Chains A and B, each alone.
Chain A
Amino acid sequence: MGTFHQNKSELHGITVVVDTDGPEIFVGRCDDMDEERVILLDVDVHRDGEGGKSKAEYVQKAAQLGIWKKHDHLVVDRARVTSVRRLAEV
């Protein structure tokens, strides 16, 4: 038994990796997404090279045990987004 969420994107409730055309990459739980934006909850943001880790290295580490959230809620402009993937499929 679980709760049911209507009128949300198919990725609602799924932890996703949102890559951008800039240095930032986001990992968080997708609340909703459309042609204009991706709305994320419990989000971590990594900048390429931060802490000596590339975007790919950061995502690989996130895929092991998850992420430490830096933001409760964050909206990413869809125009900046180059890909949205499920973290479990990384």
Chain B
Amino acid sequence: MYSPLLVKPMREELVVAGFEELTSSEDVDRWMDQKEGTALLVINSVCGCAAGMARPGVRLALEHAVKPDRLGTVFAGQDAAATAKARGAFPEVPPSSPSMALFKDGELVHFVPRHRIESQDLEAVARDLTDAFDQHCA
């Protein structure tokens, strides 16, 4: 596991963008229990090969006029119980990180797996999300 000091700025990159950090399975339960409306869950991760563009891409997407009602994040490889609990909300989807899940009224409506983030620029990562925001959050 990476040092918490190394990971701290990667957590803060999403927290300052308005994400609620979910660090325990209880946090995830509470967050997921709010079914009404739209919610974006980001499964954060350390690896820069994909995550380096994931976080800036998410932040850019949130500058879009249409966006989800709620934002939450778990950190894969750091908060194991919270991440496992979050992935339990979409058991049909293979685990990957970073990744992003958009929910509408508690149902998964859009998922961006790691391989769709890798080696993309931040505009492409953002566009994948904003297209989904327009479709599901308007």
Give A contacts to B, CB under 8 Å.
1-5, 12-15, 63, 65-69, 86-88
What chain A residues lie within 8 Å of B52 (beta carbons)? 1-2
Which residue numbers of B lie inside 8 Å of A, CB to CB? 9-10, 13, 46-52, 55, 92-96, 111, 113-116, 118-120
- Chain A residues, CB < 8 A from B95: 66
Give the top 7 A-B pairs by smallest Cβ distance, nearest first. Answer: A2-B48, A13-B49, A2-B52, A15-B115, A66-B94, A66-B113, A3-B48
Q: Which residues of B contact A5 (CB under 8 A)?
A: 48-49
Counting residue pairs across A and B whose Cβ atoms lie within 8 Å, the total is 57
Tell whether, in the assembled complex, residue A13 and residue B115 are in contact, meaning their CB atoms are under 8 Å apart: no
Given the interface pairs A13-B50, A88-B119, the reply to whether A68 lies near B114 with Cβ below 8 Å is: no
Partner of B116, one of A1, A3, A68, A88: A88
What are 17 A-to-B residue pairs whose CB atoms are below 8 Å? A1-B9, A1-B10, A1-B13, A2-B10, A2-B48, A2-B49, A3-B47, A5-B48, A12-B49, A13-B48, A13-B50, A15-B115, A66-B94, A67-B94, A87-B115, A88-B115, A88-B116
Chain A residue with minimal CB distance to B111?
A65
A13 and B49 CA atoms in complex are apart in Å by: 5
In the assembled complex, the Cα of A63 lies from the Cα of B49 at a distance in Å of 18
